[in-house]
Amino acid sequence: MIGVSREPSLARKPSAGRNGGRGTALIEFALILPILIILVLATVDFGRLIQARLIISNVSREGGSLASRQTTVDTSLTTVLKESGKPLDLVGADGKIVITRIQAGQSAAAPSPTIATQLSRGALARNSTIAAGNANLGLTASIYDHLRFKAANATSDIAEVTVVEVFYKYRPITPFPRGFGGGMLLPDTDGMIVWSKAIF
């Protein structure tokens, strides 16, 4: 009988090929996992940012509507707005509510509108856009013009306006490095200011 030598078949040595494939898959997963985690966190952050923006817009509109119906602006309104802004803390370290009442010009000698009352609550270091030093007090040119005293009519078009501004510092949960995007996404590297203004 003639002996036939047999080479060991490749099917009998599966461990070398499989272990190499498993190692490659593990390395690929380890490289992709941080990207997947950041994508998930960024999606959650985007949703939280939209929610914060909607809350702030609603609070400013609601506040403007309520303040315009009150004869005097006081801190009770900021308390109401604080409660309506939950879960955001709009009067804490990361929030601020500013209510400003602007009176129309009273006579031809004093035709320009003036800030009658400005009430601020919250510790966020953000200034109101409504100020005596700003052009048109921070109002649009058309609203400012309606508040100016008109000598021809002996009055202004409207008697007063109430402006409610709500500021909130949104802090993302995604671990962006400081200065990410050249400061475009997170200008102060600690979050971004979301704000809304309503005029009634």
Please check whether residue 43 lies inside any domain of the structure: yes
Confidence of residue 190 (pLDDT cuts 50, 70, 90): confident
User: Where is 101: in which H helix or E strand?
Assistant: strand 95-103
What is the mean pLDDT of the segment spanning 115-120?
Answer: 95
Q: CB-based burial of residue 92 (10 Å sphere; 0-12 exposed, 13-18 middle, 19+ buried)?
A: middle
d(CA 70, CA 52): 27
Angle at the Cα of 132 from the Cα atoms of 145 and 140, rounded to 5 degrees: 35
Please check whether residue 29 lies inside any domain of the structure: no
Please check whether residue 133 lies inside any domain of the structure: yes
d(CA 76, CA 121): 11
Please check whether residue 1 lies inside any domain of the structure: no
Please check whether residue 23 lies inside any domain of the structure: no
- pLDDT at position 139 over 90: yes
Please check whether residue 5 lies inside any domain of the structure: no
- pLDDT at position 14 over 70: no
Please check whether residue 160 lies inside any domain of the structure: yes
Total structural domains in the chain? Answer: 1
Per the model's pLDDT, the better-predicted residue between 94 and 10 turns out to be 94
Please check whether residue 132 lies inside any domain of the structure: yes
What is the pTM for the complete model shown?
0.79
163 lies in which domain range? 38-199
